[in-house]
Amino acid sequence: MLDLYIQNKNAIIGLESALRIAISNANNFNTPGYKYVFSSFTTIYTEAVSSGTKTINPVETGSGMTLGSTSTDFSQGNITIGTDLDTAIAGDGFFIISSSSSEFDNNATQLFTRSGSFQVDSSNTYIVDDFGRKVYGFPLDSNGNKASTTIEPIQTKGNPNVGFEDGGILVADPESDNPTPLYKLALTSFQNKEGLIATTGGAYKKSISSGERFNIATAGDPLSANSQTVYGDILSKSLESSNVDIAKVALDMNLLNRGFAAVQAVIDDVTKILNEVIKKLSG
C-alpha cells in the first residue's frame, strides 16, 4: 500500500510544476512580449493486475498523475506606447538578438524575442535589449536600401541620437528633416513555435522540436520562398504587451488549489486507513 503515497507524491510534484507556471504567468503580466504558458496533466498507469480474457475485461488498479506537457500561446498582445527605440511586431515574426552581451557572431546561439524594448548600450555603439544582448538588422545605404543581404548587430555609428521609424528602420537624427537610415530590423519565425524553449528576458531559443528558422527578412516580406504568409509590420515608439489574461490565471490558481486540497485529503485518508490496518495487525 506504500505505492499509494508514491502516486500522491507524483501528483503533488505535477501540481507544484503547474503552480510555478501559473505564478510565472502572473508575474509577467506587465512584461513586454511575454506569452501565456499552458500546463496540462497526464496519467501514470501502474501494471494491470490482469490483461483480461475474451469474456473478462482487464483489471487495473488506478493511476497516478504528473505534468504532461506545456504549451505557449503566441497570440498577439496589445500594442502600447513606448520610447523612440521601442518597437512592436504587429503580426508574425521574432526579433533576432545575441545570446549574451558578449556573443553575437554565432548563429547557433542566436535568440528570438517578441519584446522590442531596445536602447543604446553604455558605449553608444550597439542597439541592445534590456539584458544587453545585441539586436540584429540589415545595414542600409544612404537611400534606405539594403547594403547587404547579411544581418549584423545594429550599430549606432557613434551617434546616440537615433530612433526607429515604422517598418523597423533605425535612423540617425530622427527629428531632423532628413534623418539618415542606418539599419532595418531583421525578423524570422519558426514552423513550430511551440517547440521553442523560453529563456531569460522573454527570449526563446530553437530546439529539435521547433526545427530550423524560416528565412531572415524584414517587415512585410514572405516567411519563405513559397509562403503566402508575410512577416508582420514593425511599429515604432510602441511595445507589445504580454498576452496574459489575469482572469485566466486566477482560474488556473483556483483549480490548482482544489487539486492540492484533493490530493491532501487523499493522503490523510490513506494515512488513517494504514494506521487502522497496522493497529489490527499488531493487535
pLDDT at res. 6: 74
In 73-149, beta strands by DSSP E = 79-81, 87-90, 94-97, 111-113, 119-120, 127-128, 136-139
pLDDT at res. 48: 63
Check if the beta carbon of residue 79 is closer than 8 Å to that of residue 239.
yes
Place of cell 535568440: 111
| pLDDT greater than 70 at residue 1 | no
| pLDDT greater than 70 at residue 92 | yes
| pLDDT greater than 70 at residue 47 | no
Q: What stretch of H or E contains 272?
A: helix 246-282
| pLDDT greater than 60 at residue 177 | yes
**Residue 105 confidence class, pLDDT cut points 50, 70, 90:** low
**Residue 126 confidence class, pLDDT cut points 50, 70, 90:** very high
**Residue 86 confidence class, pLDDT cut points 50, 70, 90:** very high
How far, in Å, CA of 267 to CA of 265, rounded?
5
Distance between start and end Cα atoms, the chain: 19
pLDDT tens, residue by residue, 227-279 = 889 999 999 999 999 999 999 999 999 999 999 999 889 888 888 888 888 88
pLDDT at res. 50: 76
CB atoms within 10 A of CB 268: 10
87-91, 103-107, 112-116, 193-197: the lowest-pLDDT one: 103-107
pLDDT at res. 107: 53
152's CB contacts (< 8 A; 6+ apart) are: 136, 137, 139
| pLDDT greater than 70 at residue 210 | yes
